[in-house]
Every structure is written in structure tokens, then in C-alpha cells.
Amino acid sequence: MVSVAEGLAGAVKGRVVERGDSGYDEARALYNAMIDKRPAAIAYCADDQDVAAAIGFARERALRIAVRSGGHNGAGLGSVDDGLVIDLSAMNEISVDAEAKMARVQGGALLKDLVGATYEQGLTVPVGIIGTTGVGGLTLGGGVGHLTRALGLTIDNLVAATVVLADGSIVQTDAEREPDLFWAIRGGGGNFGIVTSFSFRCHPIGPVLAGPVFYDMDDTADVLRWYRDFLPGLPDEVSGFFAFLTVPPAPPFPEELHMRKVCGVVWTQSGEEESPALREARAFGRPLMDGVAPVPLPAWNTAFDGLYPPGEQWYWRGEFVKEIPDAAVEKHATYGAALPTWKSTMHMYPTDGAAARVASDDTAWAYRDAVWAQVIVGVDPDPANAGAIRDWARNYSDALKPHTLGTGYVNFQQEEGTDDKVRAMYGSNYGRLAKIKAAYDPENVFSVNQNIKPAA
């Protein structure tokens, strides 16, 4: 067999793994085991020059390029059949300038690295809720998490980046330099180039007051109606995502609740002293359990990592939600009670507060008027349950569609979107994104993503 990747090892300093090599299966594995892709090769780039060389190598041989940071993408967009995976995991350095309140983060770092390194200096950047997600994919799509109401989306805290473009050139971008590129990478995904370094503004933080409050599944309608009215009025420093879940069969959860399906709100307040708003929230209804307690942010940011290890089956659907009418509450109650496996879940992450005070055309993230980014995920370790988790997620999401903005957060999608779907995900910003794509990547070299086609 002729190696498509012959010569690649000489072109990049980092390790190269080809089809047929021992270690190939491990190297090609993605977080979502429902996706099974067989790239021609994987190049573990060591620096910006390696990234440029790998792009050039793939273009000369007409190999499709996928970029992998944390490998978490639901649709498996960190890999590509028969193409070249440019893996950034070896580029994971983080430097924090405590005085300037800035963090410089290489493109292959994970959230837990960023949260840990900044917390040591009493600082943070708002990111997602699981530590093993890549800073790269999460940031380029937007970045939603526990601190979104307080500190905005991850992209709202991005101040500069280093990008390797399709022609191999390495550019610095911020509000003044390559401003269109800087606008587009804040939500437009990996469409415009490979980001090898992100510079984030950091915020002072200490331990947070955080944890879940669980309620009986039969109380769903009451809890969700109260939550939808209560949440938008909360001060920014308090956030809570509504969830359906099965109580994990392990401490710190009381044994009598193990494996019980519940609804609940997972609260986070920046600052240890309980605010009147959080106190009022915790006093609502008849909780089965209240686990809210002071916790160091790095521990909270990795609290679900053990529950969701890599290599399980995942099926995703995501929608933006502005209002939750009673008809939607009823549908939630029906599908929540029907969680198909114990790891399957539904989360509604608030995106109001600080994130909603940024204009819809200030960054590529168009849906600043949404109050929640909702995600429905069927999850199970056993491939035999793949059909059941997929059907539940699809049916649930389809049933709710009339009560959503008709589209969702780009990072919460399982399927590689068709043109219409991607257009909808960017709404009123799509036209400008397509023009910027035409300027920076006219041949659509970066196409393994929720793809924005270059404008004609």
C-alpha cells in the first residue's frame, strides 16, 4: 500500500501516526465513540511552523484537513475520513500574567488546564462545565458555562489570537489587526484558520457556591414554570441550569437517591457568601437534595469529568430558547421522564446576563436575545443503545422545535449541518461570515466544521 502520508514525518517536528501504524486506533479515537473515522494520518504538531507545514502538505496532496484540539466535538469534526488530522494536543502551554489579568493559551489546551492555571493566580476565564473539553473548539464556537451570566461567553473575553491561515501564513489578530478575522473567529468555528494561541482577559475569582438541587420528576411542571420566571430576574453572579438527569450511583449522592430520575437546577454563584437571590432559589419547592456548597472553581469545573469519560456513545441536539411556554413545559415533562439511559440528560444553560449585553453583530454569535442554549444528549457506554439514545434525543428536540428559535448553538450539534442549517445557526451574521470566509479561505481548505461556504 502506498502511504498517502509519506514525507509528512519529515515536514513536521511532532509525531506522525499513519493508518497501519501501531497506535493508529488510539490516535484516531474521538471522545464520542458513536463517530468512527479513519484518517490517512494524524500529525501532532509542535508549533506554529508545524501547523503551517501540515496545511501545506495536505493541500499539495489534496487531502482534506481536520483540526483537533480536545476532540470533544459531538459530530466528530476533529477528524476526517482519508484526510489529515492536525492535532494540537501537544501545544497546550498556558501563561498567566496576573498583573495584566491576561492568559495566553495555546490552541490544544484543555479547559481544566486553563481553569487550573488561572485559579492559582486568583483569576478565571469563563468556559464550559467539563474539564476535558478543548479550549480550541469551545472558544471558536462561543463557549457557554457556569459563569456565562456573570462574565459573558468565552469569546466575550477573547482579546487576541494567533491564526495559521490556509496559505500557511501566521497572523496576529485582535480588534485592530485583521479585525474581520477577529470578529469571525468569535463564534464562527474553525472556518477561517487554525488558532494556535488565544489571549483571554481574566477576572478575579475565589471559591464559588455551587451544586445541584434535585426535585422529584413528578414536580417537573412546577419547578420548570418557577425556574423560567425566576432565572431571568437574578443578578448576574447567580446562574443555574435546569436539568433532567439520573442521580449517579456514587457519593456524594445519598444512596436512597442513586439511579433515581430527577429534575433539578445546578446552581453556581461567584463568591462564597450566599446572596439573597440564591437563598430564595434554594428555598423553592420540596427538594429531594440540596448539594449547594462552597467549592474551589477547578474542582467544580471537573466535577462531571469522572461521570463522562471519553469513549462513550453520544447523540446531541441543541436549540436556542427565549421563552418556555406551558406547552413546552408539558413536553419537557414527558421526555424528561423518559430519559433512555442513566447518563442521558437535558441541560438548559442560561445565556442572558453579561452575555446578552453584547450586541448580536459584535461577534459572530448572533443569538444574544436567547435566554438559554439548550442541549439534549443521549449518552451510554454501550453501542447497543445507540439507536435508543438517538431516537429519544431527536424526538424530544423535534417536539420542542416550535418553542425554540428554530436553531441552536453550533457546538451542541451532532450532525454536520447542511448549508441551510449552518446559515440558520449564524442567522443575521451569516452573510458577513461568508464574505470573510471568501477573503481568508476562498478554497474552503477548512471545511471539516459546521461549514460556512465562501461567498461568491
Smallest distance from ligand FAD to CB 49, Å: 16
Which of helix, strand or coil describes residue 381?
coil
In 3D space, the residue among 366, 357, 356 whose CA is nearest the CA of residue 429 turns out to be 366
- With beta carbons less than 8 A apart as the criterion, state whether 112 and 298 touch: yes
Query: Which one among 140, 288, 289, 452 touches ligand FAD, defined by CB under 6 A?
Result: 140
**C-alpha to C-alpha distances, 22 to 16, 26, 27, nearest whole angstrom:** 12, 9, 9
Q: How far is the CB of 286 from ligand FAD (least distance, A)?
A: 29
Instruction: Return the H-helix or E-strand segment holding 425.
Output: helix 419-426
Name which of residues 88 to 127 contact ligand FAD (CB under 6 A).
88, 107
Cα 165 to its chain centre, rounded Å, is: 23
Separation CA 192–CA 433 (nearest Å): 9
- Please state, in angstroms and rounded to a whole number, the distance separating the CA atoms of residues 349 and 344: 16
Phi and psi based region of residue 81 (left: phi greater than 0; alpha: psi -120 to 50; beta: remaining): beta
Of positions 5, 34, 42, 144, contacts ligand FAD by CB under 6 A: 144
308 binds ligand FAD per the rule CB under 6 A: yes
| Choices 141-149, 256-264, 278-286, 292-300 (CB under 6 A): range interacting with ligand FAD | 141-149
CA 336 to CA 396: how far, in whole Å? 9
* Residue matched to cell numbers 462561543: 142
Q: Is 211 in the site for ligand FAD (CB under 6 A)?
A: no
Least gap, CB of 302 to ligand FAD (angstroms): 11
Q: How many CB atoms lie within 10 A of CB 420?
A: 9
- Nearer of residues 246 and 411 to ligand FAD, judged by Cβ: 411
Q: Does 158 bind ligand FAD (CB under 6 A)?
A: no
336 part of the interface to ligand FAD, by CB under 6 A: no
CB of 6 to ligand FAD, least distance (A): 24
Number of residues that bind ligand FAD (CB under 6 A): 35
Q: Candidates 21-29, 189-197, 322-330, 430-438 — which segment interacts with ligand FAD by CB under 6 A?
A: 189-197
Q: Does 31 bind ligand FAD (CB under 6 A)?
A: yes
C-alpha cell of residue 341: 439511559
Is residue 14 close enough to count as binding ligand FAD by CB under 6 A? no
User: Which window, 137-145, 199-207, 236-244, 380-388, contacts ligand FAD (CB under 6 A)?
Assistant: 137-145
Report d(CA 401, CA 404) in Å as an integer: 5
The answer to the question of residue 70 lying near ligand FAD (CB under 6 A) is yes
Q: What is the CA radius of gyration of the chain?
A: 21
Among 68, 112, 149, 343, binds ligand FAD (CB under 6 A): 68
Pairing of strands 41-44, 84-87: parallel
Can you give 68-109 as a three-state secondary structure string?
ECCCCCCCCCCCCCCCEEEECCCCCCEEEECCCCEEEEECCC
Question: How far apart are CB 420 and ligand FAD at their closest, in Å?
Answer: 19
Cβ closest to ligand FAD, residue 136 vs residue 287? 136
C-alpha to C-alpha distance for 363 and 189, rounded to whole angstroms: 12
User: At closest approach, how far in Å is the CB of 279 from ligand FAD?
Assistant: 26
Name the grid cell of 283.
428555598
Q: Give CA–CA dist 108/46, Å, rounded.
A: 10
Cβ-based nearer residue to ligand FAD, 67 or 231: 67
> What is the Cα–Cα distance from 186 to 142, expressed in whole angstroms?
6
The answer to whether 194 contacts ligand FAD (rule: CB under 6 A) is yes
Interacting residue with ligand FAD among 131, 136, 336, 353 (CB under 6 A) = 136
Q: Does 134 bind ligand FAD (CB under 6 A)?
A: yes
Give the separation between CA 449 and CA 79, rounded to whole angstroms.
10
CB of 69 to ligand FAD, least distance (A): 3
Nearer residue to ligand FAD within complex by CB, 73 or 268: 73
Residue 376 engages ligand FAD in binding (rule: CB under 6 A): no
* CB closer to ligand FAD, 34 vs 329: 34
Rounded CA-CA distance 438/435 in Å is: 5
152 contacts ligand FAD (rule: CB under 6 A): no
From CA 412, how far away is CA 339, in angstroms rounded? 18
Find the shortest distance in angstroms from Cβ 151 to ligand FAD. Answer: 13
Residue 137 interacts with ligand FAD (CB under 6 A)? yes
Residue 220 or 411 with smaller CB distance to ligand FAD: 411
Rounded to a whole number, what is the largest CA-CA distance in the chain?
68
131 binds ligand FAD (CB under 6 A): no
The one segment of 11-19, 190-198, 225-233, 331-339 that binds ligand FAD by CB under 6 A: 190-198
- 72 or 390, CB closer to ligand FAD? 72
Cα separation, 379 vs 398, in Å, equals 18
Whether omega before 454 lies within 30 degrees of 0, making that bond cis, reads no
Residues that bind ligand FAD (CB under 6 A): 31, 66-74, 77-78, 88, 107, 128-130, 133-134, 136-138, 140-141, 143-145, 189-190, 194-195, 308, 411, 448-449
